[in-house]
């Protein structure tokens, strides 16, 4: 299924963030760019390296008017316990969503039925709730926060400057491309 420009569903999930239990829903994601970052499980192996990498770039995501929402099918209590007992996870400032009812994993079709865990999915969502980019990795393949940030920035640029597109490895401030017949076969 193609998710580009598809609107995220209504949902309500429990969460853990900075020592507090909270609830988040679709309206919390609207009005800013959002990164839904699915991972298989708390108290695991690749997951803490990814969540820590995201935290290391969190200020850059916030500066880009984006919020990170990590998400697994673990409970908010598991998220809390993981943060309280693991230094790597204890430093995380962004919300950690609990999708125990599979509202989001089912919508994005990223639940591995055999393990009962989510695949490693990243969904970049615009302020209107439309999906602009997504990737899904197998369980053992970790992701790179800087590449997610770069992709977010490219999506934001294209949203603001629809007549220009971002080439491979583009970063803010670098040249973009204005598609035209004059460029065909010359790039």
- Token pair 């959002």 is found at 34
Report pTM.
0.95
- pLDDT in 10s for each residue of the chain, 187 residues: 899 999 999 999 999 999 999 999 999 999 999 999 999 999 999 999 999 999 999 999 999 999 999 999 999 999 999 999 999 999 999 999 999 999 999 999 999 999 999 999 999 999 999 999 999 999 999 999 999 999 999 999 999 998 899 999 999 999 998 888 777 887 8
The answer to whether 141 and 119 have CB atoms below 8 angstroms apart is no
Residues whose CB is less than 8 angstroms from the CB of residue 32 and which lie 6 or more positions away in sequence, other chains included: 65, 66, 67, 127
- Position 1 scores a pLDDT of 82
Q: List residues with catalytic annotation.
A: 47
User: Any bridge partners for residue 122, and if so which?
Assistant: 37, 135
- Beta strands at 12-17 and 20-25: parallel, antiparallel or unpaired: antiparallel
Residue-range domain boundaries for the chain:
12-143
Residue 186's Cβ-count burial label (10 Å; 0-12, 13-18, 19+) is exposed
Instruction: State the CATH class of domain 12-143.
Output: alpha beta
Cα–Cα distances in Å, from 132 out to 115, 154, 177? 28, 10, 19
- Position 96 scores a pLDDT of 98
Question: Following CA atoms 56, 103, 107, 11 in sequence, which dihedral angle do they give, to the nearest 10 degrees?
Answer: -80
- Position 182 scores a pLDDT of 78
- Position 183 scores a pLDDT of 74
């Amino acid at each position: 299924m193609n998710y580009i420009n598809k609107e995220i569903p209504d949902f309500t999930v429990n969460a853990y963030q900075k020592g507090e239990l909270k609830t988040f829903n679709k309206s919390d994601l609207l009005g800013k760019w959002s990164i839904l970052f699915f991972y298989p499980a708390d108290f695991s192996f690749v997951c803490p390296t990814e969540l820590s990498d995201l935290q290391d770039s969190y200020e850059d995501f916030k500066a880009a008017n984006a919020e990170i929402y990590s998400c697994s099918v673990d409970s908010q209590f598991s998220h809390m316990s993981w943060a309280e007992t693991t230094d790597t996870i204890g430093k995380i400032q962004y919300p950690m969503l609990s999708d125990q009812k599979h509202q989001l994993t089912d919508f994005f079709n990223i639940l591995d039925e055999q393990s009962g865990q989510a695949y490693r999915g990243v969904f970049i969502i615009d302020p209107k709730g439309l999906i602009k980019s997504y990737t899904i990795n197998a369980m053992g393949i970790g992701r790179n926060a800087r590449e997610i940030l770069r992709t977010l920035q490219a999506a934001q640029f294209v949203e603001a400057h629809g007549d220009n597109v971002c080439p491979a490895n583009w970063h803010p401030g670098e040249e973009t491309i204005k598609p035209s017949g004059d460029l065909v076969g010359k790039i």
